[in-house]
Amino acid sequence: MVKICCIGAGYVGGPTMAVIALKCPSVEVVVVDISVPRITAWNSDQLPIYEPGLEDVVKQCRGRNLFFSTDVEQHVFEADIIFVSVNTPTKTRGLGAGKAADLTYWESAARMIADVVKSDKIVVEKSTVPVKTAEAIEKILTHNSKGINFQILSNPEFLAEGTAIQDLLKPDRVLIGGRETPEGQKAIQVLKDVYAQWVPEDRIITTNLWSAELSKLAANAFLAQRISSVNAMSALCEATGADVSQVSHAVGKDTRIGPKFLNASVGFGGSCFQKDILNLVYICECNGLTEVANYWKQVIDINDYQKNRFVNRVVSSMFNTVSGKKIAILGFAFKKDTGDTRETPAIDVCKGLLGDKARLSIYDPQVSEDQIQRDLTMKKFDWDHPLHLQPTSPTSVKQVSVVWDAYEATKDAHGVCILTEWDEFKTLDYQRIYNNMQKPAFVFDGRNIVNVDKLREIGFIVYSIGKPLDPWLKDMPAVA
């Protein structure tokens, strides 16, 4: 029986290994982590992450050929294939601070592997890493190998949160990079045989190590670039009276461009887009490619511009001050169908409004008060470390209350900001909300999910990203 051990039981390690276990009953899969609460949660009825379909897959396999454990060394020792899916945060200090990937967790995992194993292993990079990480890891392993043979493979993950299980069951592609030596090719084949148990052969792409590593950064950069492109257009739409949804639809009909990933928004969030682009920018700079670095940096700059622009719209519409006013925030997660708040645009929007002294009442169906308070007090990039190593803040933000109902959040509010596209926000009783709000009542839709005409009929003043402006907003400046 092939034994797989995955180091890192997070958003990637957990779901990915659960699907491998589901599809490969003859493979034993153990997911290990240094975080005791995480592993306890994986072994309980309350999984540590919310992902549609995940619970069902875990329940089918857990205790059969899927196990979660904190006994990292034992399971690494026993495995044939070791996946490494640990955090790769942005460095906050020293060389490359604010851009380069911090490989501390990766390096410590590699050193531990070298320490404990006694037989040949295939080590698979699952985390997103800078190009040439495999080479660095290979050096750590071989210099400490005691004659053991290690083959390093790069197998980046392309799942998106909220659709992780579907993405894993039917991936657009599985990418495996390895050395172009006979041993490297043999290792690729071993991993290919695992995926081939449910992924059609023509969707399993094999490359050299560096191409696989760079393809992951490139894919995220291209995806984020699409959003920044459409968001840049949204500003122009507001200035000219065009409607960004109509523009996206018309542009996306071109089969060379395609219709997906063209929704204008308050900005992209999530744990990886910004981090991976900063990392790409750093790699370009290190290679002397200043123009290329600047080109990709713009994707982030537009994203920051979009979030600032949104805050400015809110403040300028409400007589240029939100001081002491109650603003309802509907949605805090970085997208719908996940409880994940890493780099969510809601953090920057809330901080912007708090900076103008607003009182916030926040509702998200999947995010707890504790998480929201942590996010609003944590320093940039601190979130991307194992839970027990994250600095804790002794204070909470007093002007913020977190409630468990959209109607409660909007009661007596002056304005409503929709920051996540949860389906339930489309079907709220907006007449009831309007009746219970201060007047004039404002809705700022950062996800283009409400029916603008209907809301205006009710009496709301409505701002919707990239849509023709409400007459109220026409003369209000919103330049970031």
User: What residues form the annotated binding site for NAD(+)?
Assistant: 8-13, 33, 38, 86-90, 127-128, 161, 272-275, 342
Among 4, 5, 6, 7, binds ligand NAD (CB under 6 A): 7
Among 133, 155, 234, 265, binds ligand UGA (CB under 6 A): 265
**C-alpha distance from residue 85 to each of 11, 15, 39, 147 (Å):** 9, 11, 14, 25
Q: Smallest distance, Å, CB 83 to ligand UGA?
A: 15
Which residue stretch of 235-243, 255-263, 307-315, 457-465 sits at the interface with ligand UGA (rule: CB under 6 A)?
Answer: 255-263
Dist CA 57 CA 66 (whole Å): 10
The Cα–Cα gap between 427 and 451 comes to 10
Interacting partner of 269 out of ligand UGA, ligand NAD, none (Cβ under 5 to 8 A depending on kind): ligand UGA
Whole-angstrom Cα distance, residue 21 to residue 64? Answer: 9
Give catalytic status of residue 272 as yes or no: yes
| Shortest distance in whole angstroms from residue 383 CB to ligand NAD | 9
Contact status, residue 216 vs residue 156, Cβ threshold 8 Å: yes
User: Which residue of 8, 14, 177, 269 would you call a contact of ligand UGA, by CB under 6 A?
Assistant: 269
Q: Is 271 near ligand NAD (CB under 6 A)?
A: yes
Residues 346-385 that bind ligand NAD (CB under 6 A): none
Contacted by 8, from ligand UGA, ligand NAD, none: CB < 5 to 8 Å by type = ligand NAD
169 vs 473, beta carbon nearer ligand NAD: 169
Q: CA–CA separation, 268 vs 446, rounded Å?
A: 11
- Residue 357: other Cβ atoms inside 10 A: 12
Short-list 67, 63, 87, CA closest to 79: 67
Judged by phi (left if over 0) then psi (alpha if -120 to 50, else beta), residue 109 lies in alpha
Contact partner, 225, from ligand UGA, ligand NAD, none, Cβ < 5-8 Å per class: none
* Residue 28 binds ligand NAD (CB under 6 A): no
Counting contacts by CB under 6 A, is residue 160 touching ligand UGA? yes
Classify burial at 269, counting beta carbons within 10 Å of its beta carbon; exposed 0-12, middle 13-18, buried 19 or more. buried
Residue 109 binds which entry of ligand NAD, ligand UGA, none, CB below 5-8 Å type-dependent: ligand NAD
- Closest CB 272 distance from ligand UGA, rounded Å: 3
Choice from 19, 21, 29, 109 touching ligand NAD (CB under 6 A) = 109
Among 65, 87, 234, 341, binds ligand NAD (CB under 6 A): 87
* Residue located via tokens 């009783």: 429
In the bound complex, what is the minimum distance in angstroms from residue 14's beta carbon to ligand NAD? 7
* Dihedral sign computed on CA atoms, order 207, 212, 216, 222: negative
In the bound state with ligand NAD, the residue whose beta carbon lies nearer, of 243 and 384, is: 384
Q: Are 331 and 265 in contact (CB under 8 A)?
A: no
One residue of 28, 33, 138, 337 binding ligand NAD per CB under 6 A:
33
**Contact flag: residue 157 with ligand UGA (CB under 6 A):** yes
x/- track of binding to ligand UGA for residues 71-100 (CB under 6 A): ------------------------------
3-state secondary structure of 232: helix
Three-class SS state of 52: coil
Structure tokens at 93: 């200090």
CB of 130 to ligand UGA, least distance (A): 14
Site string for ligand UGA, 126-145 (x = CB under 6 A): --x-----------------
Number of residues that bind ligand UGA (CB under 6 A): 21
| Dist. CA 372–CA 378, nearest whole Å | 10
Span 127-146, contacts to ligand NAD by CB under 6 A: 127-128
Rounded to an integer, what distance in angstroms lies between the CA atom of residue 334 and that of residue 271? 9
3-state SS, one letter per residue, for 353-404: HHHCCCEEEEECCCCCHHHHHHHHHCCCCCCCCCHHHCCCCCCCCCCEEECC
Residue with tokens 């079907």: 427
Q: Long-range contacts for 140-144 (Cβ within 8 Å, ≥24 apart)?
A: 140/107, 140/110, 140/111, 140/114, 141/110, 141/113, 141/114, 144/111, 144/114, 144/115
Residue with tokens 């240094």: 34
Using the minimum distance from each CB to ligand NAD, give the nearer residue, 11 or 67. 11
Q: How far is the CB of 353 from ligand NAD (least distance, A)?
A: 27
Q: Which of 5, 24, 61, 272 is catalytic?
A: 272
CB of 279 to ligand UGA, least distance (A): 11
Q: What is the CB neighbour count within 10 angstroms for residue 115?
A: 12
Instruction: Give the closest residue to 173 by CA, choosing from 152, 193, 200.
Output: 200
Asked if residue 125 binds ligand UGA (CB under 6 A), the reply is no
Whose Cβ is closer to ligand UGA: residue 160's or residue 292's?
A: 160
Footprint of ligand NAD (CB under 6 A): 7-13, 33-35, 38, 72, 85-88, 105, 108-109, 127-128, 157, 159, 161, 271-272, 386
**Could you list the active site residues?**
272
